Amino acid sequence: MRFQRWLQAGKNQIALTVGMLIVVAYSWYWLGGPTVVMQGLLLVASVFGVAPILMQAYQALKVKVVSIDLLVTIAVIGAFIIGEYNESAIVTFLFLFGSYLEQRTLKKTRESIRSLSEMAPQTAQVVAGDGTVTTVDVDDVAIGDHVLVKAGGQVPVDGTVITGSAFVNEASITGEAQLIKKEVGASVYSGAIVDNGTLTVVANQVGDDTTFAQIVELVEEAQDSKSPAEKFIDRFATYYTPAVLVLALVVGLITRDFKLAITILVLGCPGALVIGAPVSIVAGIGNGAKNGVLIKGGEVVNTMAGIDTMVFDKTGTLTKGETAVAQVIDYTKNQAEALKLAAAVEKQSDHPLATAVVKYAQAQGVTDLPLIGQIETLKGLGVKAQVGEHLIQIGRAKLLTDAGVKLNAAQLATIEASQRAGQSIVLVAIDQTLALVIGIADTVKPEAKVALARLKKAGVKKLVMLTGDNEQTAAAIAREVGITEFHANLLPVEKVDYLKRYQAKGQKVAFIGDGINDSPSLALADIGIAMGSGTDVAIETSDIVLMQSTLSEVVYADYLTKATARNTVQNIVIAVGTVALLLLGLILGYVQMASGMLVHEISILVVILNAMRLIRFKIH
């Protein structure tokens, strides 16, 4: 065991030694020295060089895997037997040297992912109750601790600013190096860097529960998730390598040409084929992670590259989700009291429309909200709650009419007029009577129109918007962003029905959303894309997470996955083409064992270098 570890640890040094022995052997020969000395040096180089390869082949055989190392080992032993010490020495050197270069370049390919882990904060400055500050390991910070972060420091937890203000760089979370001002009440994330100013933050999430830690975990898991191409190649290699062994044996028996048989072993090594697809996938996922697009695995890359239909939720996806109350129509004798009851119920929700109602109530000076009793959320409809003696129902018109609340002609006309103006309508009923009609307006994300146009240009055939909002608001938003197909007044289950219809027609569908109500659609779609600002459920359910929650990232994900899929195919063509050309060259008499191994190792480096282009991938 110790000898085995020594061989593996010293593989690069062994490659160097073998190379030097080969140089000395040929120098000796060219200087007129006896051939026997040169042969002796090459024999020593061969034995020394084949040792780690033989050990790896043995380890693979122990788990019933016929590896590339076994092919090379048999070829080198064969070269010994027929006295081709120069061939055996050169083959072992090239194989070991190629392995060294492969490790170096792969290490660089994975650098973008590893750098994420290295960016994780290590320590935190915890503020005690008496004001003293102690530096502790980040794992020792507990939820509720107050943490001090000074200029140049790294935020060690997910939390809320309780004192101070500062400009913060959240590039480690969003991929965007733009400075963002954080003041009291703002959320900050672990891994962000305070550029100037000082913050005191109360910890809401610590350790592995922080957003940054979850990003690292997602990316690491993604590396282990294989694409269909990788799975196929794994299965192919399982049968291919033994087939090469059998082919060499058959050719050797038929032709009685032992050297030809062992040359086939060397030329048939599937090194570039085995490594080509994984290295492309890792480079593509790493690029996405550095640019705020978290792709959960190789299979996601391939599926996303084939998407032809993109379905968007409206609020928080096509629009900012930063809604504000545009008008309140009161049907009670005490609007302030009705607004207080509504705000008390809406405060229990994180839906953008609910947040807008609460903010509006605060702006109107509504305070001392009453306690909520029983509360029930009705997906896609709204919410009903018991507040003291009052039954409060808040949501769409369907919620109220289903509950038996009567809406007269004037009220219906008012609602329709507000909807035509592009407002989302929230109805508030108190004790089975309509109390408030609240009109809420949202704004389209500034990049939406351009982003959707780029998706069409990139080959996405169909862009659709599905929303629970009313027809008029949906039409206004669709016109503004350039979507021609939209469906409004939908419940979550009805959104799912639309996705099923598209899939039944053979379309490959991606759904982009952010809320709990989007989770069924995110799960059903061929690819679910969640906005990073969305709910935990949406992020968990999705295949791709957009950390900046922008539509530009949808475009980036589309272009990047297509580039990665193309790169994977290129690598497979290079690998298969190399083996085919080498075998053709062997048949025509142009390729020998050593030269074949050289071409082989070059082909491995070519596929790695080709994949590394994805690390620098950008949309122009």
Q: Name the residues annotated as catalytic.
A: 313
CA–CA distance, 45 with 481 (Å, rounded to integer): 68
Q: Please say whether the beta carbons of 508 and 308 come within 8 A.
A: yes
Give every CB contact of residue 64 below 8 A, 6+ residues apart in sequence.
Answer: none
Q: Looking at the DSSP assignment, which residues form a beta bridge with residue 394?
A: 383, 428
Cβ-contact 392, 482 below 8 angstroms: no
| Residues ≥6 apart with Cβ < 8 Å to 54 | 69, 73
What are the Cα distances from residue 10, in Å, to 3, 48, 94, 97, 503?
A: 10, 11, 16, 12, 54
Nearest partner of 419 among 473, 467, 465, judged by Cα: 473
Torsions phi, psi of 237, nearest 5?
Answer: -65, -30
Residues 594 and 499: their CA atoms lie apart, in Å, by 56
- The DSSP symbol for 319 reads B
Q: Are 476 and 442 in contact (CB under 8 A)?
A: no
**DSSP strands (E only) in 341-423:** 375-378, 382-387, 390-395
In angstroms, the Cα distances linking 508 to 460, 463, 517, 526 are 10, 12, 21, 6
User: Which residues, 6 or more positions from 470, have their beta carbon under 8 angstroms from its beta carbon?
Assistant: 419, 424, 425, 488, 489
Give me the amino acid identity at 428. Answer: V
In terms of phi and psi (left: phi > 0; alpha: psi -120 to 50; beta: otherwise), the region of 454 is alpha
CA distance 46 to 50: 6
Q: Cα separations (Å) of 295 from 29, 317, 408, 423?
A: 56, 18, 50, 35
Where on the phi/psi map is residue 365: left (φ > 0), alpha (ψ -120 to 50), or beta?
A: left
Specify the DSSP class assigned to residue 154. B
Query: Which residues is 464 bridged to in the sheet?
Result: 311, 485
